[in-house]
Amino acid sequence: MSDIIRIYHNTRCSKSRSACALLQDKGAELEIVEYLKRPPGRDELAGIVRKLGVPAESIVRKGEEVYKTEYQGRTLSEDEWLDALVRHPILIERPIAVRGGRAVIGRPPENVLALLEDA
């Protein structure tokens, strides 16, 4: 398993900042991806969703204005949700931490510590 934890991070999000701090306090080596500045591509997103073991719709931030205006009440396929997340990275839940073949959503931030188990 890779020792580096990649964390999809938004510096303006307190939960995201907390997750980074928790991992750093434990001595984890982080690769911080500010996903609003460098959005993940479709294949990368599909890989994240696969590692999370959830459908793409479950990582959609439904409080965002773009969700409310363009997607609320619509039924989209997995591919359509991935396309929406690529088109509007603000919709991607944060933080998401990935290590090797595993990923977790850092809500609450302590969830990211699961990636340190079996290290």
The secondary structure element, H or E, covering residue 21 is helix 14-25
Strands (E), the chain: 4-9, 29-34, 96-99, 102-105
Is there a catalytic annotation at residue 13? yes
73: left (phi over 0), alpha (psi -120 to 50) or beta: left
Q: Which of 13, 66, 113, 114 is catalytic?
A: 13
77 token code pair: 């396929």
Please, what's the b/e burial string for 39-59 (b: 16 or more CB within 10 A of its CB; e: otherwise)? bbeeebbbebbebbeeebbeb
Q: Which of 51, 47, 48 is nearest to 8 (CA)?
A: 48
Q: Which residues are catalytic?
A: 13
